[in-house]
Chain A
Amino acid sequence: MGTQLGFDWRQMVHSRKNLALAGLFVAAFIIGFFALMWTHRLDVGQTAQATANAAVANYAEYNLDTLSKSQKPLLANLDAQNSATGVIGLGIKLGEPDTTRNGLLSLRNAQLAMRQRHFKAINTMPLPPLHQLKGDVLTLTRLKNDDKPAVTGVTTSSSYIVTILPYLSWLTGAAAILLACDSWVERRRHQTLMTARPLTAGVAGSSRILTLTGFYLLILAAGLLAIVALPALFNGIGDTAYPLAVMGKTLLPLWQYLLLFGGLTLLAGIWIISFCMLLNTWVTNAYLTTFIAAAVAISPLMLPQVFRFLWFLPIPYLDSYATVSGTLIDRLNQPLASTWIGAGLLLVWVIVNLGLFGYRVKKEVA
């Protein structure tokens, strides 16, 4: 087993595709940092401005002198959102992070009220999902009590991580798919050599998945290093105890949150790897495997209504940020799509994948 592991590892590390993948993964974080720092694309100031414009436009829909009793709270809410964005803008302009944080808290409170009371303007205002808002309110209240600034843009390492967390699963998922797309197909290039070795299918398969997981972990670690080291060179590491909310209810400091998030990402990656290996026993083409795996992984975004009923499949939980923050519940409109259920389902389906894989490979000569 040890020899097989060593052999598989060397094959993995010598594959030009895998090395290119590792390089591109790290490069994406480096380029992303500079792009976000220069263009301020995900900054709080931009999103607040969008909300302000929407609030003013919605406000103009109503005739102020003939408001009915039910419309008054809605207009008060639009007013609150609009003035909160003004406070945020003021805080940014004057360079006062406390003011910005307080304005952001008022904005999130007003948006949460709009979500919870199902105001009519919900379809014409850019509102974050419900659990995201609950989590943000918890985070900002805690920051206000501790008198610490909120993350408003990409400057330090911690602010970089917090800003890109919702988008990380795209990169890590793509990396896992591209890594594993030819996992069981590579062997076919040297069929006679492969069949001549005295190995059972079980040993070959488990060694393959172990080395793939190891390489995936290595890529994730390299990415994390880039995320932490690069901003630290310019602006320092920042606040490693920044509170983030899990499922919109519990607050965790950033490093603990990253452990949970990293664990879920690793589990999702292992599921993708085992799924690709299983696909490879049917579809012996790496490109087709990539395409099918990518289509399967994106399907919950295309058809959230279908996955409301298919919540027991592991596919919706591949989006680690949505699972951990609870926005998956809002996306699928399914209260059962929580973090622990997601982790449990991913684990169960990894075992199912491996079982099916073992069954398929028994028929094949190892």
Chain B
Amino acid sequence: MRYFRFQLHQLLTNRKNLAVIGIALVALLCQFIFFPPNKAPAELPTRNALTRDRDKNVAFVNEPHGTLTAKWVPATREFANIETRMLNAQKQQHTQAYVKATLHYLAFLGQNAANPDAQSSPFHYPLSYYFENRQYPDADAAFANATMYRSLEPLAKQAHPDTATIKQQTFWQTLFRGAAGGWLTALLIITILFANDLLTSEQRHRSIARLLPISPWHAVNAKTFTVFTALSGFLVAAVAIIATFVIPQHGLGSLSAAIAYYAKDGMSIKLDPLALGIALPTILGLTFSLMWLFIRLNLLCQLLFHNELVGLVVSAFLLFGEPLYFMHGIAFSVPQTAYYLPGYMNPAAIVSGLQNFRYDTSRMSPLAAVVVIGSVILMLELVLFIVTHRRRAAIIK
């Protein structure tokens, strides 16, 4: 216990670690001030855009048509009706009617937008998907459309659904969107930076470190728990900052709000609703296991190679290596690539089925993540145990 407290003190007074925490918290603040992570999603058009589109559609319906464009009139009339209902519900602040109209809007676009048979189809997905140079913007937009539909479905049955929940801006929804957006990757980078010099920083005090009456296995475990403790504190601070920015404006939200879980089996697509009350703890659990993996991996690299670079390079390969073997595309992924570890580095993408969508499979489920990450952790623990129990084992050279 005393060794644990000593190591915690060393960790929290290390200038590099303090700098990393400081930069991370400042970056989080800057993100909320300059690039709020919980803007209303692109699938829900603003009143101006909706009015413009509705007026354009009404004008189209009312003018004379030749044979080529006459086939679009019934569909456009129906679409204009849906848009009018959305606008009226917005004006009257009748949120249940707004949700129902939006569900029709999303379903209509899902069926008619990006229609490969019609170059002159007047319906399209939100234009922001096309500007960003994505490889398959239609597919990405269709995915976002379908998942938004699933999220709004349960709200249509409520008498007065909350506006912030509709726009995915409540605290729990922001946590999920931020997690999918990159906060988890940042947390893993911080973990790697913390764990990277746990053992090599003691090379400066070699005689003291070697004389401590602690077995290398005990020392390694105590250091792991130290990093975990420090990072849990950081996580609490970060969540507190997010709460102060989100809750006053948009409220806490309900844990029964749904996201969608995507899986594709052969030709059939399953899009099941998943409550945030289940999704968020799963994400947290997977994140903790990934943090454990990176800490143990860095400790092992320091034990074997006595320097910080190897751990950094290997961790970077794991965390950012997916684009080296994977490209979103038709018939691109070989069945085995669904089980490579770099594909499981974003727990939020696993829990929402985004990885299933990208790999066109149903195999990358949270259970598969537990199995893949768990087996790597098991191997790491085995090698760590062997290395720390050698005859002349010591935590530093």
Contacts and interface: CB of A to CB of B under 8 A. Distances in A.
Interface of A: 16-17, 20, 24, 31, 34-35, 38-41, 46-47, 49-50, 53-54, 56-61, 63-66, 123-126, 287, 291
B127 A124 contact: yes
A41 B130 contact: no
B120 A64 contact: yes
Contacts of A49: 135-136
Contacts of A35: 323-325
Contact of A65 (B63, B136, B137): B63
Contacts of A53: 114, 130, 136-138
Contacts of B136: 49, 53
B124 interface: yes
Interface in B227-286: none
Nearest to A56: B119
A56 B123 CA distance: 10
B356 to A, nearest CB: 19
Given A49-B136, A50-B134, 17 more contacts: A24-B313, A31-B324, A35-B324, A39-B323, A39-B324, A39-B327, A46-B135, A50-B135, A53-B114, A57-B130, A60-B120, A63-B59, A63-B60, A64-B69, A65-B69, A123-B131, A124-B128
B119 A66 contact: no
A48 B97 CA distance: 41
Contacts of B84: none
Given A49-B135, A126-B131, A16 B124 contact: no
Q: Which of B113, B120, B122, B127 has the most CB of A within 10 A?
A: B127
A16 B114 CA distance: 55
Given A63-B59, A63-B60, A40 B130 contact: no
A54 B313 contact: no
Task: Enumerate the 6 nearest inter-chain pairs by beta-carbon distance, A residue then B residue, closest first.
Answer: A54-B130, A39-B327, A60-B124, A57-B124, A126-B133, A35-B324
B121 interface: yes
A50 B131 CA distance: 8
A242 B121 CA distance: 41
A61 B326 contact: no
Contacts of B326: 39
Contacts of A39: 323-327
B307 interface: yes
Nearest to B122: A60
22 contacts: A16-B307, A20-B309, A24-B313, A39-B324, A50-B133, A50-B134, A54-B137, A57-B130, A58-B127, A60-B120, A61-B124, A63-B56, A63-B60, A65-B60, A65-B65, A66-B59, A66-B63, A124-B127, A124-B128, A124-B131, A126-B133, A291-B19
A66 B60 contact: yes
B121 A41 contact: no
Contacts of B134: 50
A190 to B, nearest CB: 16
Interface string B85-113: 00000000000000000000000000001
B132 interface: yes
Nearest to B15: A285
Contacts of B135: 46, 49-50
Contacts of B137: 50, 53-54, 57
B194 interface: no
Nearest to A62: B56
Contacts of B113: 60
A120 B327 CA distance: 32
A290 to B, nearest CB: 12
Contacts of B307: 16
B125 interface: yes
Contacts of A46: 135
A20 B313 CA distance: 11
A16 B136 CA distance: 44
Interface in B112-161: 113-114, 119-125, 127-138
Nearest to B327: A39
A125 B130 CA distance: 7
B325 A38 contact: yes
B274 to A, nearest CB: 29
B218 interface: no
Contact of A41 (B19, B129, B131, B327): B327
A63 B122 contact: yes
A30 B324 CA distance: 12
B16 interface: yes
Contacts of B124: 56-57, 60-61
Contacts of A54: 127, 130-131, 137
B130 A47 contact: no
A126 B135 CA distance: 11
Contacts of A58: 127, 130
Contacts of B128: 124
A20 B125 CA distance: 48
Contact of B127 (A31, A38, A57, A64): A57
A46 B60 CA distance: 34
B224 to A, nearest CB: 24
A60 B131 contact: no
Nearest to A32: B324
Nearest to B134: A50
Nearest to A66: B59
A56 B325 CA distance: 30
Contacts of B65: 65
Nearest to A16: B307
